Amino acid sequence: MIDLQDMLAAREERELELQRDTRRQLDTVFSRLASIIGGADRALACPEEGANGGRDALLTVRNQLLRLLEDHDIELIGKSDDPIDPTLHVVVETRVRPDSRIPRIDEVLSYGARTTHDGRILAQAQVVATLPSNKLEG
């Protein structure tokens, strides 16, 4: 027969192990972020290397950040010309475009994020939306 104290001790041990795993994952993320920030600092400190030097460095930093998110099963939300979805996007500004049939993303001000394994929304994207002119007439 299982003793109540043994059950509680096992449960506490599982919770502690989960906390240790979470801490290790966060340590890995923070370590990689520190490295990426270092790369950004180096890119910003570079003397002018022509128009493409700084752009290439920033693209490298961007790609490192995207890989970090991907490694942790997180995807960005918000792409220009996507239809507006109120569960994914917060519209902070609108623009009228007569050629637009439905509200769409015209500009992403801040990406949102969601988990790829269960689709949980971590943050909504902040966007500028284009609206058809008929949406304003009604």
Structural domain of 48 = 1-72
pLDDT in tens, 6-30: 889 999 999 999 999 988 888 788 6
Instruction: Say if residue 80 is in the same domain as residue 119.
Output: yes
Q: How confident is the model at residue 90 (pLDDT cuts 50, 70, 90)?
A: very high
Q: What is the pLDDT of residue 138?
A: 46
Average pLDDT over all residues of the chain = 84
Alpha-carbon gap, residue 41 to 1, rounded angstroms: 61
CATH number of the domain within which 137 lies: 2.30.22.10
The domain total for the chain is: 2
Question: What stretch of H or E contains 80?
Answer: none
Strands 104-110 and 125-131: antiparallel
Q: What is the DSSP letter of 72?
A: T
Instruction: Say if residue 121 is in the same domain as residue 81.
Output: yes
Q: How confident is the model at residue 68 (pLDDT cuts 50, 70, 90)?
A: confident
Instruction: Say if residue 67 is in the same domain as residue 20.
Output: yes
Instruction: Say if residue 40 is in the same domain as residue 86.
Output: no
